[in-house]
Structure 1
């Protein structure tokens, strides 16, 4: 069996891939294409950036795969601390990865509708643009729903990190606080979208610090 340090290093590499592919797809590609409430602009963005959109779909799927690999590797590393908590961590990631994978399908279909003239012929230019917007809105809110599980997996991970003596206790606390930030962000986004735009940046600070710290600790230190 792999040593704890080796498992930590492997998990760190997998987690880094998640950060890169997730950041690219969710932080760059999706916002550059989808314009809420504007079918014409959204459809035009898709047509003008077909190649970028294809890379975005692949990045989403890669993100999902490596997210699962990260969770399984951390499960192997931390299951001795609490098997039930470790299982909950993996279950949350399985759900999140499934949602992300399905959302990528909606992105790909939106690209097909925007770039295949047969849809414009069948529904008219306005109808096909509206369909593109609808598909990308489903994708947008699916990713937002997945954020619930992006948050929930960090709670058991933080608990296990705190209890394990393998990581700084402060890191474990930060990971649990990141769960709270993710969940508040999602709830506010659905209930008070106007407010969500104002506070999203602030709510992203704790998760960003916690997850970057975790990745760097796994890669550089490994475990204590």
Structure 2
């Protein structure tokens, strides 16, 4: 475990970068790909039925969620120690924001479990099938609402991480700027989905910002994996 001993080493950065890429891949699969294949926009009941009918893909998405969260629990302290010497307060705040995001994601899995229990009839057997499906839809809505919550904390994390990157001088400034500017995309996505779905301009802006932050995060992960922090 000596690879975790020196936050300034190349090997430490490579492990952090590899884990960050694993988060991007598993998270992209679980959060973007699976819902895009199975969800029926605007119809909770049809979405629940689709998830039940394609249980294998649905469970694969949950496996992606778990892989992402476990990787997050390793990356979060690694980033904290990597930037602690730059600004310990901001580095800790960034770690707490990211940990809060992961905690919210973990709670969301409970709603998925409840949705399955209601939909397949293993819970509330005294209720009719239609009533159980309605409750399953409520659980799915509660799960999806969790996305709007964790995105708020992730925006905060990205702003702080971007600021630390800029202050450190250890990585390209463009990556830090991309995280700060693009990080607003997550909080705008929450506002768009929860409060202002009819505002097309907001939807377009959050899509552009999410594209920027995705490229910046992947760029940061690849920089860690391939080059590591600059030696000062």
Contact 2:121 2:132 (8 Å CA) reproduced: no
Work out whether 1:77 is the aligned partner of 2:82: yes
1:160 corresponds to which of 158, 164, 167: 164
For residues 142-153 of structure 1, the aligned pairs below 5 Å read 142-153=146-157
Contact 2:48 2:140 (8 Å CA) reproduced: no
Match in the other structure for 1:22: 27
Work out whether 1:204 is the aligned partner of 2:213: no
Compute the TM-score of the two structures, normalised by the length of structure 2. Answer: 0.88
Contact 1:46 1:53 (8 Å CA) reproduced: yes
Once residues 6 and 172 of structure 1 are traced to their aligned partners in structure 2, the CA distance between those partners, rounded to angstroms, is: 22
Mark the runs of 5 or more structure 2 residues left unpaired by the alignment.
Answer: none
Report how far residue 36 of structure 1 moved: 4.9
Compute the TM-score of the two structures, normalised by the length of structure 1. Answer: 0.91
Cα RMSD of the aligned pairs, angstroms, is: 1.9
Once residues 89 and 26 of structure 1 are traced to their aligned partners in structure 2, the CA distance between those partners, rounded to angstroms, is: 22
Contact 1:157 1:172 (8 Å CA) reproduced: yes
Contact 2:44 2:141 (8 Å CA) reproduced: no
Once residues 184 and 43 of structure 1 are traced to their aligned partners in structure 2, the CA distance between those partners, rounded to angstroms, is: 26
Q: Return closer, same or farther for 1:180/1:201 CA change in 2, 3 Å cut-off.
A: closer
Contact 1:96 1:147 (8 Å CA) reproduced: yes
Match in the other structure for 1:111: 116
Q: Return closer, same or farther for 1:124/1:32 CA change in 2, 3 Å cut-off.
A: farther
Greater helix share, structure number = 1
1:179-208 CA distance string (max 9 Å, x none): 222222222322211336842432321111
Deviating beyond 6 angstroms after TM superposition, the runs of 4 or more aligned structure 1 residues are none
Once residues 135 and 73 of structure 2 are traced to their aligned partners in structure 1, the CA distance between those partners, rounded to angstroms, is: 32
1:135 corresponds to which of 136, 139, 144: 139
Report how far residue 97 of structure 1 moved: 0.3
Q: Aligned pair count?
A: 223
Mark the runs of 5 or more structure 1 residues left unpaired by the alignment.
Answer: none
Once residues 100 and 118 of structure 1 are traced to their aligned partners in structure 2, the CA distance between those partners, rounded to angstroms, is: 23
Match in the other structure for 1:222: 228
For residues 165-184 of structure 1, the aligned pairs below 5 Å read 165-184=169-188
